[in-house]
A = this chain, B = another copy of it.
Amino acid sequence: MTDSDTAPKKILIVTAHPEPRSLNASLSAFAADELRAAGHEVRTSDLYAMKWKATVDADDFPDHSPEDRLAVMPASERATTANRLTPDVAAEQEKVLWSDALILQFPMWWFSAPAILKGWIDRVFTAGFGYGPLLPPPYSEGALGGRRALISVTLGARESSFSDRGIHGRLTDVLHPLQHGLFWFAGIAPLEPFALYGIDTDLPQDRVEAAKHAYARRLSTLFTDTPVPYRTLTGGAYDHDMRLLPNAEREGTSGLDLHIAAP
């Protein structure tokens, strides 16, 4: 461990659960306490408490004229470049830029993030901020390089059902749109997700404590764990059409694992 691994860091925790007394809310509060106790700085975005607007629409772009056809990508890029985003979006972008690590805390709903969190992503990661022609190439240093991200997710299902041969698909494949499609696309290095399975409504207190204990262990290595070693777009493994070159995969890999560089 180097000095920079143990130096105080800045963490943004984004939480998406409607109930302040939920396990998700308590895991986020617990993480904030743990990380602060370890000397780090923490900021939070509790999306339900903030009454976060989930939907991208014309109101997001104050300079967009209502008579004009709304093309989201160009409107998003113009507003970002001109510093004319709405205050709520600008505030979240500032938090992301401030952070060394991002934690997304959410319950899995229909095999992805709750809509309010998807709306945080859709609205905050604007063209010119999270992606776009004015930025470094995706899947590399990207727009937001130098940061890492941890998904902390609760699931009602059993772990076996999200295992390699589980019917829901491997958790890592189900979360690919976030891990690779959002984080890694924007240059943020994703860690293996922290997943709590079999989460019922009335979780016994001993299981809550066990969950916090396990989460504390994961948080203690937030800045030393090796991120998922996704390939960079610019590292020579892809052709000009963004396809992995013939025989570039590790032996025996297929599917989404093609895009992982090391075992």
Contact = CB atoms under 8 A, between A and B. Distances in A.
Interface string A54-71: 111110000000000111
Interface stretch (A38-46, A113-121, A145-153, A208-216): A113-121
A242 interface: yes
A233 B157 CA distance: 14
Contacts of A113: 118
Given A168-B181, A233-B167, A258-B165, A58 B18 contact: yes
A110 B201 contact: no
Interface residues of A, number: 68
Interface in A227-263: 231, 233, 238, 241-244, 254-259
A119 B18 CA distance: 13
Interface in A53-98: 54-58, 69-74
A33 interface: no
A6 interface: no
B121 A110 contact: yes
A176 interface: yes
A34 interface: no
Contact of A160 (B22, B119, B243): B243
A194 interface: no
Contacts of A217: none
Contacts of A115: 54-56, 115-116, 118-119, 121-123
A19 B71 contact: yes
A223 interface: no
Given A19-B71, A110-B121, A114-B122, 9 more contacts: A22-B69, A54-B55, A55-B114, A56-B114, A110-B177, A111-B177, A113-B118, A161-B242, A169-B256
